A and B are shown apart, each in its own frame.
Chain A
Amino acid sequence: MSRRFTPKIVTANRLREGDVVYLTADDRWSALHHEAELIEDEAHAQMRLLHAAAQKLLVVGAYLADAKAGPNGPEPTHFREEFRTRGPSNYHHGKQADLAS
């Protein structure tokens, strides 16, 4: 039996600003992890990653990151991805500040 596919989201950084963004099911790039499309199928994940990588004027460095379903949408499973949802821990900069304003 093949190993179960760990659900994924597609994430990248905006080309101009460098901000962390997530690919939504309706093809937007959202600043919010929980708005990302949670992808449960490996073939679909590859299709979505190709779709993301083709958007060369919007984003850079698109990749698939592990995620899990949560009450408000996908949540990160690894601390690196969790840090990317909010910004650095030494200053109130990045998303934690941008999304609050």
Chain B
Amino acid sequence: MYSYSDFDEAFVRSRVAQFTNQVERRLDGSLTEDEFRPLRLMNGLYLQLHAYMLRIAIPYGTLAPRQMRQLAYIADTWDKGYGHFTTRQNIQFNWPKLPDVPAILKALADVEMHAIQTSGNTVRNVTADHFAGAAADEIADPRPYAELLRQWSTDHPEFQFLPRKFKIAITGSPNDRAVTKAHDIGLRMVRNAAGQPGFEVIVGGGLGRTPMIGMTVRDFLPEADLLPYVEAVLSVYNTLGRRDNKYKARIKITLHETGKDEITRMVEAEFARLRPLFGGNDQKLLADIREAFAPPAFRDAPVDAYDSFYKADPVFRAWADTNLARHRNDQYAIVTISLKAHGQTPGDATSDQMRLLADLAETYGHSDLRISHEQNVILPHVHKSDLPVLHAALVKAGLGTANVGLLSDIIACPGMDYCALATARSIPVAQELAAHFEALKLEHEIGPLKIKISGCINACGHHHVGHIGILGLDRAGVENYQITLGGDGSEDAVIGEKTGPGFAYTEIVPAIERILRAYIDLRTEPTETFLHAFRRVGMEPFKAALYGSEGEKDAA
């Protein structure tokens, strides 16, 4: 795992000292709120509905056990004993008090963490495939590149006041688990004809009020050209991007207003100018960073215990079937620990759970933890012989839910239970959906399904790319939920289609049930997933199930 250099350490410490002073000046009245607000946002501190919220970056979703323990300590000392993992591989604390925030940031700096650039019109936390360095289908670990991008973008003087926020996602696998096509820049590792690794560069994806799938501006970018090329994209965006209208300020709009060909031409011209200025130090740095991400010393041991336990214990088997993914080492598995126990808040972990996860990572997982954008925790390297005892420990702590990739593995933004921007609640909708289908025992029959819920049009809950997306709106002073179907956040990314009129808070769970019962009735066989069935039959059967014969008329 990457450790801070002296430079990183000094930078983060100086920012803590700077913000500590700014908080003091706000509290003694030397700074007005108008002056202080941009300063606190630069340090990830928001004011939400009921309290402040501190958003802390977990770069490329990677955490060491001591960092997880420190998050637990922060939760217990200055918050309410839990944290919320987000769709951007961040963690949010919902109840910090302003005078305590400097101490929290200092505690974070003690474990090489910070909240810098988790807000504002800057390059935000660079997200990555949560199976990085472990996935069987991976070309190369994307995290060294993500760390290089983190260092380059942190406090980059040219990119501190972009037209709007800027999100970069990177995956080292052709199978996209990082939703790269819905980011301002998506980097997807591919090989060229000569077999060398490089990146497909996707620009202008994004969800929010104008959802768009990104466009490929380079089919193959040699890895040595990564930084100058990304800098060229940002530089062109920084010049062209609109600052007159917040809703037209993201690069996706710039791309559409300028045209893909013209933007590509400008990026390539800027790249040609910048490329010679990168004298190779970035590559030296990348080589150093790469060493920090060397694979762990994998154990060579029999896996019979796993095989016999798998055959003997149905509870373990159910968990193994849903929560394990293929590791590049056959003796190992990638374990997804669900933070979606039925009826609980998606993405929340108590401080006790965090400490247990840290312990388990140390004992069974080569001291590596990941946070996924789907709001779960990953142990990327677990020897199969350790899985039965790991599973038992998880079950004891309420972390053994066998639902990864199923209906109740729901992404939900904080919604109007916390967020000042929200137009409706999303957490209780997720809780009720999961509890309802658990009671019906339908989840396993329905099979693979991604439900994603956002509490406003900004789409933090990625609803546009949910197989079933739910968007909470305020319709004449009442919560109303719009449904989209057929979205997909994978390498075949698609924006979901609206079904028609929305549903009231009390109507949304029954509406989803109608959709899913229709799916069970119309699928050709149980292995035809919801998404495949939707692609085959289209919207109409689901509209009929949702709205009955009145559907056509109301949908107009």
Contact = CB atoms under 8 A, between A and B. Distances in A.
A28 interface: no
B417 to A, nearest CB: 4
Given A56-B33, A90-B428, A95 B417 contact: no
Contact of B477 (A57, A78, A89): A78
B33 A18 contact: no
Interface string A66-101: 000000000001111001100111110111000000
A56 B29 CA distance: 7
A78 B97 CA distance: 27
Q: What's the interface size class on A, roughly?
A: 20 to 34
B50 A16 contact: no
Given A16-B99, A89-B425, A83 B51 contact: no
Given A56-B33, A89-B417, A18 B27 contact: no
Contact of A90 (B26, B33, B52, B417): B417
Interface in B388-437: 416-418, 425, 427-428, 431
A19 B51 contact: yes
Interface residues of B, number: 30
A22 B428 CA distance: 27
Contacts of B285: none
A84 B50 contact: yes
A79 B27 contact: no
Interface in A21-64: 56-57, 60-61
Nearest to A96: B50
Contacts of B425: 83, 89
A94 B48 CA distance: 12
Contacts of A56: 29, 32-33
Q: Which of A56, A84, A87, A88 has most B Cβ within 10 Å? A: A88
Contacts of B47: 13, 18, 60-61
B95 interface: yes
B80 interface: yes
Given A13-B47, A60-B33, A60-B47, A93 B98 contact: no
B475 to A, nearest CB: 11
Contact of B428 (A20, A60, A87, A89): A89
A95 B95 CA distance: 12
A94 B49 CA distance: 10
Interface string B76-87: 000010000000
B478 interface: yes
Contact of B49 (A16, A20, A78): A20
B95 A15 contact: no
Contact of B50 (A15, A61, A95): A95
B50 A88 contact: yes
B34 to A, nearest CB: 10
A79 B428 CA distance: 15
Given A56-B33, A89-B427, A84 B478 contact: no
Task: List 7 tightest A-B contacts by C-beta distance, closest first.
Answer: A88-B417, A18-B51, A18-B52, A94-B50, A90-B345, A90-B427, A60-B33
Interface of B: 26-27, 29, 32-33, 47-52, 80, 94-99, 345, 416-418, 425, 427-428, 431, 474, 477-479
29 contacts: A16-B99, A17-B51, A17-B97, A18-B47, A18-B96, A18-B97, A18-B98, A19-B51, A56-B29, A56-B33, A57-B27, A57-B29, A79-B477, A80-B49, A80-B416, A83-B425, A87-B50, A88-B94, A88-B418, A89-B428, A90-B345, A90-B417, A90-B428, A91-B80, A93-B80, A93-B94, A93-B95, A94-B50, A94-B51
Given A17-B98, A18-B52, A83-B417, 6 more contacts: A17-B97, A18-B51, A19-B51, A61-B33, A80-B416, A87-B50
